[in-house]
Amino acid sequence: MLRHLIAMALGTLLLIGVVGYAWPAEARPADGTLTIDNQRSAFVGLTLDGRAMGEVSPDSQRSLRVQAGEHSLRVRDRDGQMVLAQTVRVRPDGQARVVVAPNLGQLTVRNATGRDGRLLVNGQDRGSMLAGQERVLRLESGTISVQIRQPERVLDSLRSNLRAGERKSWTALAPTTAELRVRNPLPVTVRVRVADREPVRLEPGESRVLRNQPVGPSQVVVTGPDGLVLTREQVRIDPFDGGSLMVPLPTQGAVRLVNLGSGTVDVYADGRRIASISAFDNELLQVPLGMAELTLRDRERNIMLRTAVEVQPFEAVTLRCDLQQHFLTQERELVAELDAFIEALRRLAS
């Protein structure tokens, strides 16, 4: 009987100890570790069980100490777009790893600029990009910035939005227009015409940049104050370096010959035929600078007149001749009344 009472007492004490005893902290079920591996090239924000847990840097990992059990994980980009949503189970003293994979699209880049360069994507150097080369890039979705550049210039650039799974292509091209730098060192005003565009006026000593000129070879014509062509040449305008032109010093001057006679006259300068002028007509002739011998012949090639003329730049010499009288005069200045006189003769002849 005593033995039975003792057993009952011990059982009661044991029951009381089990109910009222507090386990030590180190004996509780252990926490676990949750690691977020962000393989994207942008920041992502974490929400765990509805609680914001900060961000994870691009191409990096972050580990969180969490209670063992199941947790609701949400990952968003900085624009608030959901990147990942899943339930994660963390075991006691265990480790759970979640990979935030990049959301990729494809961009094909072709270099048709005609120049070698470097390929930059979102500011990162992706290596050389030779002229005519094509490369296929796997890029994370979002806004992308692509450049093909040389140390001193950008050959071409693209800014676009690339979606996950999207395939895009882009061809880098050279500009179709560039700048032409023109300088006028002459003491007179000139007009510069590039291709078929409107002429541009340049004062003595003036320099100017003519923008939006077509690339490639362009004909540039420079005329002086009297309308005479000072130079006519092909200037190559590079799409990246542009072009330049220095108005050259003239090698020829102007001689205006007025034929007051009744017959056509052929004009020779130093033995070279340069013009044929009808009766009661006039023409502005280009003659090499310096002393020039002018010879006038009728249609039977008879020498009617021969005279020496000093030709200077930017100063027209006027010659008036009457073959019937074998008369020739020279003037150093263009007289406004001369044109009116010639016009009156034309009206009389008609």
Q: How does pLDDT run across 69-90, given as a tens digit for each residue?
A: 999 999 998 888 888 899 999 9
Structural tokens at position 306? 């021969």
In this structure, the number of other CB atoms found within 10 A of the CB of residue 149 comes to 18
Averaged pLDDT of the chain: 85
Residue 213: predicted pLDDT: 94
Between CA 287 and CA 320 the distance in angstroms is 16
pLDDT digits (tens, 9 = 90+) for 311-326: 888 778 888 876 555 4
Yes or no: say if 74 and 67 are a contact pair by the CB < 8 Å rule.
Answer: no
Residue 151 has pLDDT above 80, yes or no: yes
- Assign 157 a pLDDT band (cuts: 50, 70, 90): very high
CATH number of 104-173: 2.60.40
Residue 342: predicted pLDDT: 67
- Assign 17 a pLDDT band (cuts: 50, 70, 90): very low
pLDDT digits (tens, 9 = 90+) for 173-182: 999 999 999 9
pTM greater than 0.75 (yes/no) = no
Mean pLDDT of 318-345: 59
Residue 251 has pLDDT above 90, yes or no: no
**Range name among 65-74, 96-105, 277-286, 329-338 with the lowest pLDDT average:** 329-338
- Assign 23 a pLDDT band (cuts: 50, 70, 90): very low
R_g of the chain computed on alpha carbons: 46
- Assign 334 a pLDDT band (cuts: 50, 70, 90): very low
- Name the CATH topology of 30-100: Immunoglobulin-like (2.60.40)
In this structure, the number of other CB atoms found within 10 A of the CB of residue 44 comes to 20
Does the domain spanning 177-246 belong to CATH 3.30.2420? no
pLDDT digits (tens, 9 = 90+) for 26-60: 445 579 999 999 988 789 999 999 999 999 998 89
Q: Do domains 30-100 and 252-349 have the same CATH topology?
A: yes
Domain segments of the chain as ranges: 30-100, 104-173, 177-246, 252-349
- Name the CATH topology of 252-349: Immunoglobulin-like (2.60.40)
**Range name among 28-32, 106-110, 136-140, 212-216 with the lowest pLDDT average:** 28-32
**Range name among 56-65, 97-106, 309-318 with the lowest pLDDT average:** 309-318
Highest mean pLDDT among 18-27, 124-133, 270-279, 315-324: 124-133
